[in-house]
C-alpha cells in the first residue's frame, strides 16, 4: 500500500530557479522531476504519493502533487551546498505556478479534513496520516476540476484512465501512478530502439522517457482500467511519434522489427 508524504515550500527561503523549464516540461510531457529535501526516510517507497504545501506566509496551501521516483539519497542542502541532506526525487504530475495561480488553501483543507494531521511542517517530507491522506486525494482532485486552466491537462490520480473532458481541445486523463509502475517494471530504455537518455545526455536526461499506451486512449468513448505491465511500454519521443503515424497506432513489436532489420542491413546505422 502506498504512503502519502507532505513536503514544504517556503517562498522566503527558496525561489524556483528552473520554474519556467519545469512548467514547460509538465505542459509538453505531463511530468517534471525535482529533488526535494525529506525528513522521513525509513518507510518511503517508490510510487508513494507526494504533495507540496506552501508555508511561511498568508498564502498557505497545496499547489503540487506527484510520486516518489527515487528513494532517499544524500544531496547538497540548498542553504549550504557543502552540507549533505536526505533528498528524494518527485515526478510531479500537477505543479501550479505558486506565483500566479491559487492553491488548495490550508483553510479549505482543515475545513474538509477533520484530522490531527499537522499541515504546515517545519521539516519537509513528513508522512501524512492515513485518515487524512484518504480524504486529501479526492479533495485535491475536486479542487483541480474546478480550476479554469485552458490548454492544460488536469490529471486524475487513479489507475482508471481515458475519460474525455473538454478544455478547448479533447484531452484524456492519464495516471502518473500507472506510468511509475510501468517504469519500475521496464526501466527507462526505449523498448524499440533501446536508447537511454541518461546514458546519451548525462544527468539532464535522467528519468526522461515517454510511456506508450498499447491500446490508444483516444480510441475509447469512455475510460478504462490500465494494467501498467501489459498495457504500457517505455518509448523514446522519436519511436513514440512513429508508432502514432498510423491510425490505429503500430504495434510496438512491428516497429521494433523494422528498426532491427534496418540496423542489421546498416541502412540507417
Q: Which CATH architecture has domain 4-157?
A: Roll (3.10)
Predicted local distance difference test score (pLDDT) of residue 167: 37
Rounded to the nearest 10 degrees, how much is the dihedral formed by the CA atoms of 222, 228, 234, 235?
-20
- φ, ψ for residue 125, nearest 5 deg: 90, 40
Predicted local distance difference test score (pLDDT) of residue 80: 78
Predicted local distance difference test score (pLDDT) of residue 92: 92
pTM of the predicted structure, to 2 decimals: 0.57
46 Cβ contact partners less than 8 Å away, ≥ 6 residues apart? 67, 68, 69, 70, 71, 180, 184
User: Alpha-carbon distance 142 to 156, whole Å?
Assistant: 10
Predicted local distance difference test score (pLDDT) of residue 150: 42
Spell out the per-residue pLDDT of the chain, length 269, in tens: 679 999 999 998 888 888 988 888 888 778 889 998 887 677 899 889 999 999 989 999 999 999 998 889 988 877 777 888 889 999 998 999 999 999 999 999 999 998 899 999 888 889 999 999 999 999 998 898 887 444 334 344 444 455 554 433 333 344 567 778 888 889 999 999 999 999 999 988 888 899 898 876 544 444 456 678 888 899 999 998 898 888 788 999 999 999 998 887 765 55
Predicted local distance difference test score (pLDDT) of residue 217: 53
Residue 165's Cα: distance from chain center in Å? 20
Domain residues of the chain, as ranges? 4-157, 176-264
Amino acid at each position: 500500500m502506498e504512503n502519502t508524504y507532505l513536503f514544504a515550500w517556503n517562498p522566503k527561503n527558496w525561489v524556483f530557479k528552473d520554474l519556467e523549464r519545469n512548467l514547460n516540461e509538465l505542459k509538453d510531457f505531463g511530468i517534471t522531476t525535482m529533488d526535494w529535501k525529506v525528513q522521513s526516510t525509513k518507510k518511503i517507497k517508490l510510487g508513494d504519493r507526494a504533495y507540496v504545501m506552501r508555508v511561511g506566509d498568508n498564502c498557505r496551501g497545496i499547489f503540487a502533487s506527484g510520486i516518489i521516483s527515487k528513494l532517499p539519497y544524500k544531496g547538497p542542502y540548498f542553504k549550504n551546498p557543502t552540507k549533505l541532506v536526505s533528498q528524494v526525487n518527485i515526478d510531479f504530475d500537477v505543479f501550479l505556478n505558486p506565483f500566479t495561480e491559487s492553491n488548495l488553501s490550508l483553510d479549505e483543507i482543515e475545513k474538509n479534513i477533520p484530522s490531527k494531521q499537522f499541515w504546515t511542517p517545519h521539516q519537509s517530507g513528513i508522512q501524512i496520516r492515513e485518515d487524512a491522506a484518504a480524504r486529501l486525494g479526492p479533495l485535491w482532485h475536486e479542487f483541480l476540476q474546478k480550476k479554469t486552466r485552458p490548454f492544460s491537462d488536469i490529471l486524475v490520480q487513479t489507475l482508471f484512465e481515458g475519460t474525455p473532458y473538454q478544455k478547448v481541445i479533447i484531452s484524456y486523463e492519464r495516471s502518473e501512478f500507472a506510468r511509475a509502475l510501468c517504469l519500475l517494471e521496464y526501466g527507462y530504455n526505449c523498448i524499440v530502439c533501446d536508447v537511454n537518455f541518461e546514458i546519451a545526455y548525462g544527468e539532464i536526461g535522467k528519468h526522461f522517457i515517454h510511456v506508450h499506451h498499447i491500446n490508444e486512449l483516444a480510441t475509447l468513448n469512455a475510460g478504462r482500467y490500465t494494467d501498467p505491465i501489459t498495457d504500457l511500454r517505455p518509448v523514446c519521443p522519436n519511436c513514440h511519434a512513429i508508432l502514432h503515424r498510423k491510425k490505429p497506432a503500430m504495434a510496438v513489436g512491428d516497429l521494433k522489427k523494422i528498426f532491427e532489420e534496418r540496423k542489421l542491413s546498416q541502412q540507417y546505422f
